[in-house]
Amino acid sequence: MSVAILGGGAFGTALAIALAGSGPVTLWARDAEACRQMAQTRRAPRLPDIPLPDVITVEPDLARAAAQDTLLLAVPMQALSGLLAALPETRGKALVACCKGLDLASLTGPSKVIATRCPEAVPAVLTGPSFAADIARGLPTALTLACADAARGEALQHALSTQSLRLYRSTDSTGAELGGALKNVIAIACGAAIGAGLGDSARAAVMTRGFAEMTRLAAELGGRPETLAGLSGLGDLALTCGSELSRNYRYGLALGRGESFDPAVTVEGAATARAVAQLAERRDLPMPVCAAVARVTMGELTVPQALESLLARPLRQEDPL
């Protein structure tokens, strides 16, 4: 199986470094000058401390990179549809989404975006708890490889696992990608709670009620609730809501503290919160934590106002769905 990674940011680079131990890998980034620098210095701008092994070919030409038979798509979620539109023939290729979020234009996750843009390709999702720097350093990591086509999913699981990167397979792409998308929204809420000084108990409450919202929306959209309890849901929620290495969590911290945050940093949960709020409204689903994050990130509510509205909700039975 020949592999190309499309996207030269932190995660694309980390995956390229991890997979380089198994054989040649092509790494495409859209900025030709950045590609030239990476090829020359064998360092990537987002992971400058870890050298790029020689078996990685940095490829500035998208068509040449996309000639490989397995393409790992490691661009931000809102860039996925445009990237897919620019790909040449993808018939029969495995297109593995590595991005975490919902597409704002279509309100769908990456596998639906792939199926719409490239109907003759095989969509798959690689998701779960993993910071790019950990993967690039070869630290042990377990992720979910989800593919509705069980045989192709198993082949991908074996081809993309390494000694330290352990992939579990699933056929529930919807559940897996929603776990990865929604945990970012909840991580922003947890960061905001900590940033506003509400304490660790409040964070645990937000995580747990947030997890109920994740499970509820996934079930509504055809995902399996048990998938949400796995690496792609609960696993990634635990990582992202408790670590300042997470950009979503750090963004939430800044919101809670009333500080500014660098707009150039990739924070997937903000756009995804807006997509979730629209989906929830259309389907009449209670998603109060996600809705609060959407409104706070759009500047419609302050963190104290969001807290007040969440605490004012009627008391209810505790159940996830």
Ligand X SMILES: NC(=O)C1=CN([C@@H]2O[C@H](COP(=O)(O)OP(=O)(O)OC[C@H]3O[C@@H](n4cnc5c(N)ncnc54)[C@H](O)[C@@H]3O)[C@@H](O)[C@H]2O)C=CC1
Whole-number Cα distances in Å, 65 to 3, 13, 27, 30, 161? 9, 14, 7, 11, 21
Q: Please report where in the chains the tokens 């701008």 appear, as a residue.
A: 45
86-115: contacts with ligand X (CB under 6 A): 98-101
79-102 burial: b if 16+ Cβ within 10 Å, else e: ebbebbeebeebeebbbbbbbbbb
How many Cβ atoms from other residues are within 10 Å of residue 206's Cβ? Answer: 27
Binding status of residue 266 toward ligand X by CB under 6 A: yes
What's the closest the beta carbon of residue 245 comes to ligand 13P, in angstroms? 7
Residue with Cβ nearer ligand 13P (204 or 245): 245
Binding status of residue 236 toward ligand 13P by CB under 6 A: yes
Q: Is residue 261 a known part of a binding site? A: no
Q: H-type helices in 93-199, by residue range?
A: 110-117, 132-137, 150-160, 173-195
Binding status of residue 169 toward ligand 13P by CB under 6 A: no
> What is the CB-side half-sphere exposure of residue 293 using CA atoms within 13 A?
35
Binding status of residue 62 toward ligand X by CB under 6 A: no
Q: Is residue 248 a known part of a binding site? A: yes
Stretch that binds ligand 13P, among 21-29, 166-174, 203-211, 233-241 (CB under 6 A): 233-241
What is the β-pairing status of strands 70-73 and 94-97? parallel
In degrees rounded to 5, what are phi and psi of residue 179?
-60, -50
Q: Which of 11, 211, 249, 251 binds ligand X (CB under 6 A)?
A: 11
Active site residue 93: no
What is the β-pairing status of strands 165-170 and 25-28? unpaired
281-310: contacts with ligand X (CB under 6 A): none
Could you say which of 93, 117, 169, 183 is catalytic? 183
Binding status of residue 136 toward ligand X by CB under 6 A: no
31-50: contacts with ligand 13P (CB under 6 A): none
Residue with Cβ nearer ligand X (52 or 74): 74
- Interface contacts to ligand X, rule CB under 6 A: 7-12, 29-30, 46, 74-77, 79, 82-83, 98-101, 130-132, 266, 268
Active site residues: 183
